[in-house]
Chain A
Amino acid sequence: MKLDPKSYAKMVRRASPPSPVGKDCLWAFFVGGGICLAGEVLRQTYLTWYDAEMAGTLTSITLIFASAVATLLGWYQKLAAHAGAGTLVPITGFANSVVSPAIEFKTEGWVTGVGAHIFGIAGPVIAYGTLASWVWGALYWAMSKGG
């Protein structure tokens, strides 16, 4: 065959339609911005009763709850099919990545299905986030001793 992997890679790049970046970014901006705006409305509301830290935590919990409901009804997936990173990057996307395997793997049992898969997507986020904070904590401790 008149084909080699190198020239084929070039052929494939030319033939593959690119992602519609402009449209994707508009969706991501408005949906992602909208979720953050909703978060800010919640935060300001909670600030009337709580301090900044608790208001932030309650904001997260409320958004996670909303995401869980939207995931349950299949709405989050439908929105994400357009919004891309707009639904991926906010905390609601994290919640969706925990809720969706829990629902999906119910058929494989509560422990071996739901329990084992619940962090299948979000696990790496927590693992490497924790490691990064541990490294930074150690540096911070060393700096505070040194300084």
Chain B
Amino acid sequence: MSIRRKDTLVFEKPPVIAAWAAVGGKREGEGPLASGFDLLVEDSAFRAENCPGWENAETLLQTKCAGLCLRKAGISADQVTLAFAGDLQAQCTASAYAMRGLGIPFAGLYGACSTMAEGLCLGAAFAGAGYSERTLVMTSSHFCAAERQFRTPLVYGGKRTPTAQWTATAAGACLLRPAGAAGVPVLSVTFGRVQDYGIRDINNMGAAMMPAAASTLLAYFHTFDAVPGDFDAVITGDLGVVGSELLRAQMAREGYDLFNHLDCGCLLYDRNRQDVQAGGSGPGCSASVLCSWILPQLRRGEWKRVLFLATGALMSQTTFLQGESIPGIAHAVELGTPKGEKNG
């Protein structure tokens, strides 16, 4: 059962993330987290598999990621009782087509780059309530599919501004099980509220999403009278360098020294070596960092308690062109370390 405290669900018997997998592309494979990935694809177009387009390539990322996750869990697709999945494509087609192949009961999600946290919140709630025995949570993004949908054709010559972020070609998948199974426990989940502080620059998503991250973080801290030091790390989704700096400044104003803050957008790539401007983004960014780097450290017991706070920008190309500002959202997932299996 779980207890509702304001916007947070606290699990008395925490469900667990029993298995996970991360898949990345070429640039992710050249980044600092490469060794944590389960699969790195050199050709993001999957030409050897006769993949017809970028959207289909993203579906393949998800299919491979789901397959790896299920293999690590030692189960087959028909044993999965529910899947929450999402991506950036219009109508979430990358997930839908991946699920067409897997045949799992499927609820599609859209939370932009926050989708992994959104899925974990829902998946943990379902697992905690006993509604689903084996829940797959998965998100992806593909640089090329995002670029052609939201920006310009890939061979179009354009210069990126320093505040722009690079959409990750990556996918992450987690298998959630009810309390009792082995795995990394989900201690609580906090659903965020949409925040909009009037940012209109589509090339500065970190700035647009920061207030959402701060708002969810403050909601958690106020509800539980917690401080950043209660965690080994507070890890935001993809604020990038600009959004991260703004978040630390804002939290300082609120009276919290966010000394242990990390950001998936800054972790996935080496900004000095790789040309990614302000950092990575996309639902695949936070999902793959979670599954390649955060969860393994929790399982090994190197970290005891982490707040995973994925952020999303909820505009569309249409609302942007119509002059609307960019609303953001952030959901928080509190993760612990497995009980009684230290350094396992």
Contact = CB atoms under 8 A, between A and B. Distances in A.
Say whether A and B bind each other.
yes
Interface in A1-18: 1-5, 8-9, 11-12, 15-18
B155 A71 contact: yes
Contacts of A103: 153, 155
A101 B207 contact: no
B242 to A, nearest CB: 5
Q: Is the interface of B mostly helix, strand, loop or mixed?
A: loop
A80 B158 contact: yes
B159 A105 contact: no
B218 A101 contact: no
B157 A17 contact: no
B130 interface: no
A135 interface: no
Contact of A88 (B157, B197, B215): B157
Nearest to A17: B162
Contacts of A4: 197
Contact of B156 (A9, A20, A77, A82): A77
Q: How large is the interface on B (under 10, 10 to 19, 20 to 34, 35 or more residues)?
A: 35 or more
Query: Which residue, of B155, B160, B161, B278, has the highest number of chain A Cβ atoms within 10 A?
Result: B155
Given A17-B162, A17-B242, A19-B162, A77 B155 contact: yes
B253 A2 contact: yes
Most chain A CB within a 10 A radius of its CB, from B53, B54, B161, B207: B207
A41 B52 CA distance: 42
Contacts of B229: none
Nearest to B245: A15
Given A1-B218, A74-B155, A81-B159, A8 B197 contact: yes
B12 interface: no
A16 to B, nearest CB: 5
Interface in B245-279: 245-246, 249-250, 253-254, 275, 278
A122 B152 CA distance: 12
B154 interface: yes
Contact of A104 (B153, B159, B197, B211): B153
A93 B156 CA distance: 9
Interface of A: 1-5, 8-9, 11-12, 15-20, 24, 71-72, 74, 76-77, 79-84, 87-88, 93, 96-97, 99-101, 103-105, 107, 121
The 8 A-B residue pairs with the shortest CB-CB distance in the complex, in nearest-first order: A80-B157, A104-B153, A5-B198, A100-B156, A100-B153, A84-B159, A107-B53, A12-B207
Given A77-B155, A96-B157, A104-B148, 10 more contacts: A3-B214, A8-B197, A15-B207, A16-B162, A20-B162, A80-B157, A99-B155, A100-B153, A104-B154, A104-B156
